[in-house]
Amino acid sequence: NAGVTQTPKFQVLKTGQSMTLQCAQDMNHNSMYWYRQDPGMGLRLIYYSASEGTTDKGEVPNGYNVSRLNKREFSLRLESAAPSQTSVYFCASREPGQGTDTQYFGPGTRLTVL
Amino acid sequence: GESVGLHLPTLSVQEGDNSIINCAYSNSASDYFIWYKQESGKGPQFIIDIRSNMDKRQGQRVTVLLNKTVKHLSLQIAATQPGDSAVYFCAENPHGQNFVFGPGTRLSVLP
């Protein structure tokens, strides 16, 4: 039982390049989330998927797209990376209404855009 | 959203002492709260939660206090250990909506 896994762990991009961050969970959770974390700031929600087949914008969606590939996988795509997207990206999953209603987080992807 | 700049507030405590970390939340409609611990280079980990129909909840060495009147949450860690050094942040959940996370407090445990 690996929980939430993310790939890659580290990535350096040049401005204008594209990439996809991968996330998978093995806890059979319906909801999945993408956050970014910048120094001294709380986690900010980029996109979320309440259930397979649905996605919705969060607080900071500009410059990103997502795909809920199936119940296990939720990917985040940067079509044309910008230095402002330098951040640590966390994926999380959750099963609402099950006792402790926490999100389970992956280890993060550290992205630098030059 | 909240924005407090580049530097997190830091709490330094002596090993063995008790720690109290505070959090002010923003939405009076929030009815569920979680404290997370985030060690360097890792994702946040659940510590303890509390619902709005309670004002105190205890776990192993940790206690969360909720004061809805002033929208304040605190995390108490008893007998703080070196392994407790991390960033701690609270999250609030307005009913039916997504979590909102605070910026966090860095806890440093001195030997």
Q: Which SS3 state, helix, strand or coil, does residue A19 take?
A: strand
Residue B44 sits at the vertex; the CA angle it makes with B42 and B49, to the nearest 5 degrees, is 155
Give one DSSP letter per residue of B1-35, joined into a string: -----S---EEEEETTS-EEEEEE---TTEEEEEE
End-to-end CA distance of chain B: 36
Selecting from B41, B45, B89 the residue whose C-beta is nearest the C-beta of A42 gives: B89
Which range, of A8-17, A90-99, B35-44, averages the lowest pLDDT? A90-99
Q: Which residues of B touch A40 (CB under 8 A)?
A: 4-8, 103
In whole angstroms, give the CA distance from residue A68 to residue A74: 4
Q: Which residue of A has its CA nearest to B36?
A: A102
pLDDT greater than 80 at residue A97: no
In whole angstroms, give the CA distance from residue B19 to residue A59: 32
A&B contacts, CB < 8 Å: 55
Mean predicted lDDT score pLDDT of chain B: 90
Inspect the interface and report whether the beta carbons of B89 and A48 lie closer than 8 Å: no
pLDDT greater than 70 at residue B1: no
For chain B, which residues lie within 8 Å of any Cβ of chain A, measuring from their own Cβ?
1-8, 32, 34, 41-46, 49, 89, 93, 98-104
pLDDT greater than 60 at residue B3: no
Inspect the interface and report whether the beta carbons of A33 and B103 lie closer than 8 Å: no
Q: Which SS3 state, helix, strand or coil, does residue B103 take?
A: coil
The burial of B3, by beta-carbon neighbours within 10 Å (0-12 exposed, 13-18 middle, 19 or more buried), is given as exposed
Q: What is the pLDDT of residue A96?
A: 76
Sheet strand arrangement including B19-24: B19-24, B72-77, B62-67, B56-58
